[in-house]
Amino acid sequence: MFELAPAFWLLAAAALAVVLPGKGLRAALCVAMPLVGLWQLWTMGVGASAHASLAGFELTLYSVTKVNFVFAVIFLLISAVAGVYAWHVDDRGQQVAALSYAAGALGVTLAGDFLTLLLFWELMAVASAWLVFARREARSVRAGVRYLLVHVAGGSFLFGGIILFYGQTGTLTLQALTPDMGAAAWLVLIGVALNVALPPLHPWLPDAYPKATITGAIFMSALTTKSAVYVLLVLFPGWDLLIYMGLFMALYGVVYAVLANDIRQILAYHIISQVGYMVTGVGIGTALSMNGTAAHAFSHILYKALLFMGAGAVIQATGVSKLSDLGGLAPKMRGVVWLFMIGAFSISGFPLFNGFISKSMIVSAAGEAHHYAIMLGLLLASVGTFLHTGLKIPVFTFWGKDQKLETKPIPRNMYVAMGLVAFGCTFFGVYPHALYVLLPFDAEYHPYTAYHLVEATQILTFTFIGFWVLRAKLAGEPYLALDTDWFYRRGAPVAQAMVVKPVNAFFGAGAKARDGIASFLASNFGNPRAWFGLQKGSRDRFDPDVERAPLGSGLALILLVFVAIFASVVILVP
């Protein structure tokens, strides 16, 4: 029993939560089980694995390596803290979904073969979609359906790639893929890139995350994209294409964050931007850059969870999520302001916060690999990060024009969770060694050099000045920005006209013909006597009481016949 991997513990917890009575017990389960999983993972350590065989396939249910260990640790940590944040939520569906979702992410991360990975991959898609549906608003349900369909499509690409891979190699063991594997590698890459939110396959993320439940979004911000980053790191290390795609992602998210108005959508676009750094790190493929990817995923999960928690607290208190409707909350939400700013300083890469010690690894790795343009591009993206997450959101939410919003008190557990994550963000910023010892590859790195401090200080200071000069331009505007979801949201009616309508018309015509035949038969065969003009009642219906002679006349006939026979016997026999 104890040999089960953490993913299976979480699955068992999800199953238990289905029947467990009492909100408090389920909430405790959501916090305790990730911690049990973490303890188990820690005691098992690197090298542990379990095997099984299914339908002739040899599966590696889990295999703890140096690479997935660090990812599994942070997934379990953040799931437990997100459980604290969601302690007050009395919604069995969300609790079961959150535990299953965490199980999916763990399963993907620890899986040793493609089939196990695929099963947990699909579990993640379904469980996370539930966290969008659970908001129970019409637009959330529609966004949830889009989210689910897109992820099912992505899973199909992955599945197709895995089938081809198995056909080529005869094994399902996870291993690095190379471009010369052809379609197998590319299909897997498309499937994984969709979960990484690599444009143009990304629009599910800024579409669904702002519409998820306040607590569900914390799990979503941590698990889906970062588990996919891990898979990318294992399957596609050193793919040059990823260097450029990563930079593209980093800047793409920045541009859209200028245009977005919902505070959680701004944060969502910055997930894309931050994951771009990690993708670039995978693409560079050196020990330092791939350590940077793992470290930045770890840091990113912490500060992004904190930012989503802060934004969630604002929405919880005010019921408002659009920047254009927010403002002047600082005096009413002092605690949230401080906690949010710690997340904002972290993502912006302020010295002493955890973004600084991980982001700089990838940027430095780009420099060491002589990708100078990439290096400057990533620095530009970090200007944008500070601009939006560090300045635009807090300035227009907490200060700016006072919108006189009523604020409801926030559950205390939300503060506790934010405090825990904020501690993590500063702890690893001040003491990066605690994170560096977990990193998988052999590369030495020192973040606190004079050069890095100068670079960060000057860039951040002058970004602030630029923001202050142009701040009027950055206020939220009640518009949406077109993104690649246009293709399926505007395309759906066209596809419906092309594919659904003809089929519907065909079956509609068939149904009409069927009804015509039925009504012809019903009206002409209802009363056969009508064919000879003999009907007494309706032409459509044979009613025996009307059409047949009364019972009495039959009896009279019988009596008459009987009398006739009797009479003839009496008369004729003697």
Partner 1 sequence: MKTIHWILLGIVTLASLALQYFGPPHPHPHAWDAIPLFYCMFGFVGCVLIIVVSKFLGKVWLQKKEDYYKGDDDV
∠ CA 264-268-271, nearest 5°, is 140
Question: Which of the ranges 36-44, 93-101, 253-261, 498-506 carries the binding residues for partner 1, by CB under 8 A?
Answer: 253-261
Taking the complex as a whole, how short is the minimal distance between the CB of residue 31 and partner 1, in angstroms? 33
User: Does residue 2 bind partner 1 (CB under 8 A)?
Assistant: no
User: Does residue 479 bind partner 1 (CB under 8 A)?
Assistant: yes
Sort 399 into a burial class: Cβ within 10 Å, 0-12 / 13-18 / 19+. middle
Alpha-carbon distance values, 58 to 169, 340, 487 (Å): 14, 47, 40
Quote the DSSP letter at residue 21. -
Element (H, E) at 4: none
User: Does residue 473 bind partner 1 (CB under 8 A)?
Assistant: yes
Question: Which of the ranges 80-88, 107-115, 465-473, 563-571 carries the binding residues for partner 1, by CB under 8 A?
Answer: 465-473
User: Does residue 171 bind partner 1 (CB under 8 A)?
Assistant: no
User: Does residue 444 bind partner 1 (CB under 8 A)?
Assistant: no
Which residue type, as a one-letter code, is found at position 416?
Answer: V
User: Does residue 474 bind partner 1 (CB under 8 A)?
Assistant: yes
Q: Is 500 helix (H, G, I), strand (E, B) or coil?
A: helix
What span, in angstroms and rounded, lies between the C-alpha atoms of 121 and 408?
A: 38
What span, in angstroms and rounded, lies between the C-alpha atoms of 491 and 273?
A: 27
Taking the complex as a whole, how short is the minimal distance between the CB of residue 288 and partner 1, in angstroms? 13
Which residue type, as a one-letter code, is found at position 415?
Answer: Y
Binding residues among 80-139 for partner 1 as defined by CB under 8 A: 139
Q: What is the 3-state secondary structure (H, E, C) of 419-431?
A: HHHHHHHHHHHHC
Taking the complex as a whole, how short is the minimal distance between the CB of residue 404 and partner 1, in angstroms? 22
Cβ closer to partner 1: 412 or 501? Answer: 501
CA dihedral 148, 151, 155, 157 (to 10 degrees): 130
Among 93, 367, 411, 526, binds partner 1 (CB under 8 A): 367
Cα Dmax for the chain:
147
CB atoms within 10 A of CB 511: 10
Among 464, 539, 541, 547, binds partner 1 (CB under 8 A): 464
Q: Is 145 helix (H, G, I), strand (E, B) or coil?
A: helix
CB 47 within 8 A of CB 68: no
Supply 405's token pair.
């919003």
User: Does residue 470 bind partner 1 (CB under 8 A)?
Assistant: yes
Radius of gyration of the chain (CA): 33
Among 96, 132, 143, 421, binds partner 1 (CB under 8 A): 143
User: Does residue 453 bind partner 1 (CB under 8 A)?
Assistant: yes
Among 384, 419, 440, 447, binds partner 1 (CB under 8 A): 384
User: Does residue 478 bind partner 1 (CB under 8 A)?
Assistant: yes
Question: Which of the ranges 196-204, 252-260, 337-345, 504-512 carries the binding residues for partner 1, by CB under 8 A?
Answer: 252-260
Q: Which x/- pattern, by CB under 8 A, does the window 181-220 give for partner 1?
A: --------------------------x--x----------
What span, in angstroms and rounded, lies between the C-alpha atoms of 245 and 232?
A: 13
Binding residues among 523-562 for partner 1 as defined by CB under 8 A: none
Binding residues for partner 1, total number by CB under 8 A: 56
What span, in angstroms and rounded, lies between the C-alpha atoms of 225 and 276?
A: 11
Cβ closer to partner 1: 500 or 561? Answer: 500
Cβ closer to partner 1: 490 or 501? Answer: 490
User: Does residue 303 bind partner 1 (CB under 8 A)?
Assistant: no
Q: Is 63 helix (H, G, I), strand (E, B) or coil?
A: strand
Cβ closer to partner 1: 167 or 478? Answer: 478
Give the footprint of partner 1 on this chain (CB under 8 A).
139, 142-143, 207, 210, 254-256, 258-262, 265, 322, 367-368, 372, 375-376, 379-380, 383-384, 387, 449-451, 453-455, 457-470, 473-474, 477-483, 489-490
